[in-house]
Structure 1
Amino acid sequence: MGMKVKEVANLVGISIRTLHHYDEINLLTPDEITNSGYRLYSDKDLEKLQQILFFKELGFPLKKVKEIIDCPTFDRERALELQRKSLLEKRSRLDKMIKTIDKTMRHAKGEINMSNKEKFEGFDFHNNRYEQEARERWGDQAVDESKAKIANMPGDPEAIVTEIYSKLAALRHQSPQSAEAQSAIKEWFDCLNKNFGNYSLEAFKGLGQMYVDDERFTQNIDKMGEGLAQFMCDAMVHFADTTKNK
């Protein structure tokens, strides 16, 4: 007999709501549902859940996980091999960063001296997954143009973005359709087009949807204020729709 949702949640250490969400988006639908409406997870379902959680640990958004697992050519054994390799690489990076922290603490106490190079051992920004996904979505030319704009921006690009995000975070409890919210989201639209690339209204709307579809974006944006990603998404959709109709 299969396992009920609560049993699986307790076994794995995730919430019942998470399992319900996986079911709602057709990422993990249990093999059997009783006449009483209870979801029953088979061993095969648990294997699939394991795969989902491995991919999540490696930073894959749920949409991409679903795409990979649902592919007819998906090979579980091959996926496990690649996941193991990626996790070993991640562990190696973390070990290096822990050593850097330990050395930094000793340096701060005057026990050792650290060179500037040693202070940043373990950090690796050469393989940017966001950039790779952007290239796959919008093409090399768009990404290269955006990077060139950022390189030539006056001031600190991160500070400019943070300022706009802070303004939106302060407004996030209002309606995303309010005049203040729309004024701030227009500022974000103008900032993107001036500094990061050429965003059509549809691309801007799609970017907003990505803020809530991709858990990595949601988590990063919500650091500025809980619910900010959803607020920005709603505001961006409204801005795109109303501007397009003017």
Structure 2
Amino acid sequence: MRYQTNELAKLAGVSQRTIRFYENEGLLVAQRDPENNYRSFASDQVDRLQQILFYRELGLPLAQIKQILLAPDFNILQALQEQEQALLAQQTRIAGLLALVQRTLDYQKGALIMSDQEKFAAFKAAQVTNNEQAYGPEIRQKYGDAQVERANQQWLARSAAAVQQMQQLEQQVFAGLRQLLGPTTPDLDSSGSQQVFAAHRAWVRLAWGQAKPYSAEAHRGLAAMYAADPRFIKYYDDAAGPGATALLVAIIDHYAR
């Protein structure tokens, strides 16, 4: 079956403008009827739109969706299997958070006792799930399954104070990058750059812990991953401003020696 733009938009529950946007981005391809010159979308484009919406629901940025769908070796069955695993992971994360809310309600009513560790366990488990979903294949390929599993277990066992310290260090990195990103070229030898590096190095040491001893070489390798992955670029640029990721990578390369 073929669908005109308005019909496909109605079928998918999106606007016609959205359909045209995906078409302009090269993600959807319409064909013209030689008899009436009307544009329409075939069944394979219906499947393609479903894939786009799946990936959008999973929170992937448009650039990454294009990279996946326009790859020469794209396989829809493999994509659906990966999406299933990602959605199951989300389901597990939400179930854990719901269970935590229910236990916290009982705790606040005086019906049970909760340790401080229990109060944050589900949040840390959710972060592990999110990291695995977003970066799992890359970090497992780079560091190996055993090391990643050790790091995950270490994170789950980490105290609330340590988690708070990591969050504070990350905010220091963001604030320092924002200050350095101005109308002039940032000075890598400035005290501001040194402070950003020191905060990020401290964050890395806490994040890796005993699972992976810190080294300057490994720190530079992490920076190279930041520079090569659009998800990392979006994360730091969204937090500290356009160009923040490139600046952080340059600072790490400058000082991690």
Q: Report the TM-score range of the alignment, normalised by the length of the smaller protein.
A: 0.5 to 0.7
The answer to whether residue 143 in structure 2 is matched with residue 135 in structure 1 is no
Counting matched residue pairs gives 220
2:83 corresponds to which letter in structure 1?
A: Q
Matches within 5 A, 1:138-153: 138-140=142-144
TM-score calculated relative to the size of structure 1: 0.58
* Map of 1:97 onto structure 2: 97
Report the alpha carbon displacement of residue 50 of structure 1 after superposing the two structures with TM.
1.6
Taking a change above 3 Å as real, the CA distance of residues 114 and 135 of structure 1, as seen in their structure-2 partners, is: same
Cross-structure match for 2:57? 57
Q: Which amino acid aligns with 2:136?
A: Q
Instruction: Tell me what 1:233 maps to.
Output: 245
Matched-pair contact (CA < 8 Å) for 2:5–2:41: yes
CA distance in 2, matches of 1:181, 1:40: 58
- After TM superposition, give the deviation of residue 165 of structure 1 in Å: 0.9
Letter of the 1:232 counterpart: A
Contact 2:173-2:196 at 8 Å conserved across structures: yes
How far the C-alpha of 1:10 sits from its partner, in A, is 9.8
1:175 alignment partner, SS class:
coil
Letter in 2 for 1:188: V
TM-score by length of 2: 0.56
Q: Which of the two has greater helix per residue?
A: 2
- Show structure 2 runs of 5+ residues with no match: 205-215
CA distance in 2, matches of 1:185, 1:41: 52
Q: How does 1:1-246 map to 2 (within 5 A)?
A: 2-4=3-5, 8=9, 11-13=12-14, 16=17, 20=21, 23-24=24-25, 26=26, 28-32=27-31, 41-60=41-60, 62=62, 65-70=65-70, 74-110=74-110, 112-116=111-115, 119-120=119-120, 122-123=122-123, 124=125, 125-126=127-128, 128-129=131-132, 132-135=136-139, 138-140=142-144, 156-169=165-178, 174-175=182-183, 177-179=185-187, 184-185=192-193, 187-189=195-197, 191-192=199-200, 196=204, 197-198=216-217, 199-200=219-220, 204=223, 207-208=226-227, 210=229, 213-214=230-231, 218=234, 222=238, 224=239, 228-233=240-245, 235-236=247-248
The 10-residue stretch of structure 1 (69-78 or 93-102) with the greater mean CA deviation from structure 2 = 69-78
Residue deviations 1:41-93 (CA, integer Å, cap 9, x gap):
54422321221332343355555544544455544345434533542442243
Deviation at 1:100, TM superposition (A): 1.8
What is the root-mean-square deviation in Å for CA atoms of aligned residues? 5.0
1:135 maps to a residue whose letter is: I
